[in-house]
Amino acid sequence: MSATDDRDVLAPDRGTIMSAEMAEQPAVLRRILAEGAPSIRAVAAEIAARNPRFVLLTARGTSDNAALYAKYLIEVLLGKPAGLTSMSTTTAYGAEPDLRDCLVITVSQSGGSPDLVASTEAARKAGAITLAVTNNADSALAAVSEFHIDVLAGPEKALPATKTYTAELLALYLFVEGLRGGDTSPADLLPALARDVLDRRDEVAELAQRYRFAQRLVITSRGYGYPTAREAALKIMETSYIPAQPFSGADLLHGPLAMVDNVSPVIAVVPDGKGGDALQPVLERLRGRGADLMVIGNADQVGRASAGFVLPEGVAEEVQPILEIIPLQLLAYEVTMARGLDPDAPRALAKVTETR
């Protein structure tokens, strides 16, 4: 009996939890729009009245990629400077920055990581407006923050985060639009479109066969798509253990492109809009090097690649990441299953990390 067959016998239900939680995403998105949006807008209005001059975002892992997405939203839609914090400067080094008139947003699925709690406490002590975005209203992080947004994803049991990630993205989008009193109608179609993407699972399962024996992957994008590339790489690494390296398209051209050849698989997330336009020179270089290129994007971009997944059209660029990640979550799942592993319980991972 092969090792793969042995795993199948030992774990006949492997992957069922992650699979079920990915399938919940349309319902979660619908819940946020119907039940969460009013309270998110109310929190945004209170914070907007205090007119923070800049924003810092704090997170780990998957939530760090959601925070990066929020950074793009804040800088593009609000015109405010935004940055990702280095928590160790306060939790390990004891730094005491002046955070008056600063909004500190801490994003965490569990809200239980001690370093996130300590960092948020330090930020509030330093004069910051503090906002926790979590999937647990009763968490320690929510308790120490001045404001809280519940992403309403429900319990997530699989170690790889899926539904909490897209829930965080939508909650952060609604919050940022709320800060400027903007129109959130571009999000209204997301639940139905997410269901349409999930219903094309067989397409992803076929694509997954390309990467079953891959030794490494490169994932690239620009603009709003870059957090998607980072999250996709994380999902693939933590489930299938394939080294997946995410690069901004601009960074890929500054040296790492040299490691790409005709046997090095590359996945490109190509948004419709300015991010996708900025990625075109990178795609030309990749095609010129004969790269095995898979594109997540529109039909034209997919048609010019070795393979790909066509995303729904007519979606505003700032909310496309909520759909872009779903076929890549499915890809991570299908590759992992094809390799005889269990995506529900990757080795050496835990839901709540304890770092300083």
Residue matched to tokens 């990178």: 282
Residue 274 to residues 72, 138, 221, 236, Cα–Cα distance (Å): 13, 39, 11, 27
C-alpha 105/C-alpha 177 separation (Å) is 15
295-311 burial by CB neighbour count: b if 16+ within 10 A, else e?
bbbbeebbeebbebbbb
What DSSP line would sit under 256-316, residue for residue?
Answer: GGGG--TTSEEEEE--SSHHHHHHHHHHHHHHHTT-EEEEEE-HHHHHTSSEEEEPPSS--
| Residue 351 is among the residues annotated as catalytic for this protein | yes
R_g of the chain computed on alpha carbons: 20
102 phi, psi to nearest 5 deg = -105, 140
Q: What tokens appear for 43 in the block?
A: 């929190």
From 71, 80, 163, 351, active-site residue: 351
Q: Which amino acid is at 212?
A: R
Express the helix, strand and coil content of the chain in percent, nearest 5 each: 50, 15, 35
E-strand ranges in the chain read 54-58, 82-84, 102-108, 129-134, 147-150, 217-221, 244-248, 265-269, 292-297, 307-310
Active site residues: 351
